[in-house]
């Protein structure tokens, strides 16, 4: 039961940013806060391993949100926040509930859309067996030219390299030999956000697997076995698999841009709204990635904990990008500090650069999930 004199925090969302905020508040503020987690589903799916699943290298782990909330002393409500009334410090939900708050954290995540017209979209819930079918077609010799493509405007591109590397490795193991696997990306250099050293390492991996690379390329559509390129000759292909394009999940009463993203300061405070914070992919920070979402959530939690009376100094968001690249062999661990969307020279190692060494590097959530899953979501090399 909610404490009468505790600082009441409502968290809207059930993804990484929302859960990291919840667990961080338990650690930083303890009994000073009452937390209500509001999410439309009862399950949190650890989705970064979706790339690994078709190749038998891992699987999407699923956790009960009511159980995760209870473990933090929070209350879970299966619902969705539809409207925020900042003046009244209240939110209104899709099920007709009205919830008061002293601090509100908006972390509903994003919506995925088709990345390139005519191309198959990785992660499309309507096509859960997309990569498995592609691998079967490759094995049967029905597909010879594959393009893995990054749509215009996407900043987090690591999955496209994993898909290409893992597909090439599977073909080598099975003895199938596609004519050509190509990665097409608007980036100036592969995984350039991690810096020059990581980019060079990725380029070498692609070359070693016989994967062609086209950088600085803006794909626009796929039709009649041709991937159309803005201002350049089309690329011939039998199949094109594109990363999805994303837009923010909009909540009425919270200001957002034309794509649904919310501008925040370095403590996650939403401009013009008192006691309203936002974290994760729904913010306007260009890189949409779980580890970044967790770091934003940590800054939000530190600010709220201090407001609630905890002896905590708020810690502004200073993004450090960490990425685990699945290669079909030893994974590569990448790290770079991010300044204005670009990485420092960065670090690339074949040994973990953080712990637990999962796909999502988070200070509070990763250890918490490991407690609930025994050893946490697993990656098999």
Q: Poorest-confidence range of 216-220, 324-328, 352-356?
A: 352-356
pLDDT for residue 1: 42
Phi/psi at 157 (5° precision): -110, -5
Please check the confidence at residue 71 and state whether its pLDDT lies above 90: yes
Q: How do the domains of the chain map onto residue ranges?
A: 7-109+249-318+361-373, 113-244
Give alpha helix (H) positions in 236-314: 290-307
Please check the confidence at residue 23 and state whether its pLDDT lies above 50: yes
Please check the confidence at residue 371 and state whether its pLDDT lies above 80: yes
Domain boundaries 7-109+249-318+361-373, CATH class: alpha beta
What average pLDDT does range 354-378 have in this prediction? 77
Residue-wise pLDDT for 193-225, tens only, equals 999 999 999 999 999 999 999 999 999 999 999
pLDDT for residue 374: 54
Single out the residue of 148, 219, 229, 159 nearest to residue 191, CA to CA. 159
Residue-wise pLDDT for 306-317, tens only, equals 999 999 999 999
pLDDT for residue 150: 98
Q: What is the overall mean pLDDT for the chain?
A: 92
Cα distances (Å, whole numbers) of residue 159 to 123, 175, 205, 301, 349 = 11, 24, 14, 29, 18
Residue-wise pLDDT for 121-160, tens only, equals 999 988 889 999 999 999 999 999 999 999 999 989 999 9
What average pLDDT does range 372-380 have in this prediction? 52
Most confident of 13-17, 50-54, 338-342: 13-17
CATH 3.50.50.60 is the classification of domain 113-244: yes
Q: Both tokens of residue 358?
A: 């999962």
Question: How sure is the predictor about 4, in pLDDT bands with cuts at 50, 70 and 90?
Answer: low
Single out the residue of 109, 211, 197, 126 nearest to residue 160, CA to CA. 211
What whole-number distance in Å separates Cα of residue 188 and Cα of residue 9?
42
What average pLDDT does range 62-68 have in this prediction? 95
What average pLDDT does range 353-378 have in this prediction? 78
SS3 300: helix
Sheet containing 226-229: order of strands: 219-223, 226-229, 232-236
Residues paired with residue 10 on neighbouring β-strands, in sequence order: 36, 104
Question: How sure is the predictor about 372, in pLDDT bands with cuts at 50, 70 and 90?
Answer: confident
pTM of the complete model: 0.93
C-beta separation of 277 from 104 below 8 A: yes
C-beta separation of 270 from 251 below 8 A: no
């Amino acid at each position: 039961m909610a404490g009468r004199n505790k600082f009441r925090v409502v968290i809207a969302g059930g993804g990484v940013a929302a859960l990291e905020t919840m667990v961080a508040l338990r650690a930083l503020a303890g009994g000073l806060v009452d937390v209500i987690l509001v999410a439309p589903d009862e399950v949190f799916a650890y989705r970064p391993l979706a790339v690994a699943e078709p190749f038998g290298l891992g699987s999407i782990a699923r956790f009960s949100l009511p159980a995760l909330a209870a473990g933090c002393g929070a209350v879970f409500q299966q619902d969705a926040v539809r409207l925020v009334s900042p003046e009244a410090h209240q939110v209104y939900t899709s099920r007709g509930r009205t919830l008061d708050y002293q601090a509100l954290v908006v972390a509903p995540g994003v919506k995925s859309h088709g990345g390139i017209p005519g191309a198959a979209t990785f992660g499309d819930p309507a096509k859960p067996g997309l990569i498995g079918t592609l691998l079967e077609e490759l094995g049967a010799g029905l597909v010879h030219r594959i393009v893995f493509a990054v749509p215009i405007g996407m900043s987090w591109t690591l999955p496209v390299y994993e898909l290409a590397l893992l597909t090439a490795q599977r073909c080598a193991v099975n003895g199938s030999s596609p004519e050509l696997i190509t990665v097409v990306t608007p980036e100036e250099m592969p995984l350039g956000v991690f810096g020059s050293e990581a980019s060079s390492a990725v380029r070498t991996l692609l070359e070693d697997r016989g994967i062609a690379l086209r950088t600085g390329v803006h794909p626009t559509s796929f039709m009649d076995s041709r991937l159309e390129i803005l201002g350049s000759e089309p690329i011939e292909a039998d199949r094109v698999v594109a990363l999805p394009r994303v837009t923010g999940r909009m909540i009425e009463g919270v200001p957002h841009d034309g794509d649904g993203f919310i501008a925040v300061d370095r403590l996650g405070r939403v401009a013009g709204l008192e006691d309203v914070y936002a974290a994760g992919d729904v913010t306007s920070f260009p890189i949409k990635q779980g580890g970044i979402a967790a770091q934003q959530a940590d800054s939000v939690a530190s600010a709220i904990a201090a407001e609630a009376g905890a002896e905590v100094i708020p810690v502004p968001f200073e993004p450090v990008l960490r990425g685990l690249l699945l290669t079909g062999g030893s994974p590569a661990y990448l790290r770079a500090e991010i300044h204005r969307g670009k990485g420092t020279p960065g670090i690339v190692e074949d040994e973990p650069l953080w712990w637990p060494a999962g796909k999502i590097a988070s200070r509070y959530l990763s250890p918490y999930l490991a407690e609930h899953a025994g050893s946490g979501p697993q990656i098999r090399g």
